Every structure is written in structure tokens, then in C-alpha cells.
Amino acid sequence: MEQKVLIVSCVEYYSFLKNIPADKVFLSFRQTSILDMILESQKNFPEMDLEFYAGMIDGIVAMESDAEENDYAHYKERTALVSEVVALLAKKHGFDALEACGKYYESQTAKLVSEDKTGYYQKMAAEIYAIIETE
């Protein structure tokens, strides 16, 4: 799995599991060096799935149990969309995976995409990319 896709997949899946907006998950992961740990783990355990990473992250963060309500149910759609947007950002700006993910998740648009109720997760990658480029 490409690094960009791995980062986005972990962020979006964890957002879904914990019922937390993905942009906040990304920022938390970056501030606590979890992103570095995910990328390092991929080198050592390339065959592992998202449940492995979620369990590993839970063990480190020791967050509360999964939320009963799920306001971030469309994580699979977001994962595909955000992976495309991050790839476009990386290509345009010559970013590595972490830089491209940072550019995306730090944008105001990422906050809108993270919330199911906005419907932004249904937009095309090119449209989301264009909005980010104008911020």
C-alpha cells in the first residue's frame, strides 16, 4: 500500500471507529508522532490490515471506547476521495506522503469533507483539490 493511501486509510478508519472528525485525528496523529510510527510499522509489517493499525494506535493513545453514535460512517468513501486528493497535491507540489496529507488535513476543506452531514465526501477529487488550491 502506498504511504499516502496508508496514512489516509488509517486516519479515516480511526475517525470512523472513534467518531471524531478526520482532520482532528490527523492533527492528533501528527502531534503524537503516530504517523511516523504507522509508516515505520508498514516497513516491518507490510502485510498488516487497518485493524492492526487501529489496535496499535489504540494501545498507544488509550482513547475511550468507540462512540455509540456514528457521525463519520462514510469513511470508505472519504478514504478513496482523500487518497486521490492527496495524490493530486503530491504531484502538483512535489510533496512526499506526509507533506501531502498535511496539506490536505490542515485545510478548511478537510473539515468539511470530514463531516458526513456536509456531503462533501460525495464530491469529485478534482473539485476538492481545486477548493484546497484556492484556500
pLDDT given at position 65: 42
pLDDT tens sequence across 97-131: 999 999 999 999 999 999 888 999 999 999 999 99
Phi, psi of 57 (to 5 degrees): -65, -45
pLDDT tens sequence across 56-92: 888 776 644 444 556 677 889 999 999 999 999 999 9
What gap in Å lies between CA 92 and CA 56, rounded to an integer?
33
Contact 25, 38 (CB under 8 A): no
What gap in Å lies between CA 110 and CA 125, rounded to an integer?
12
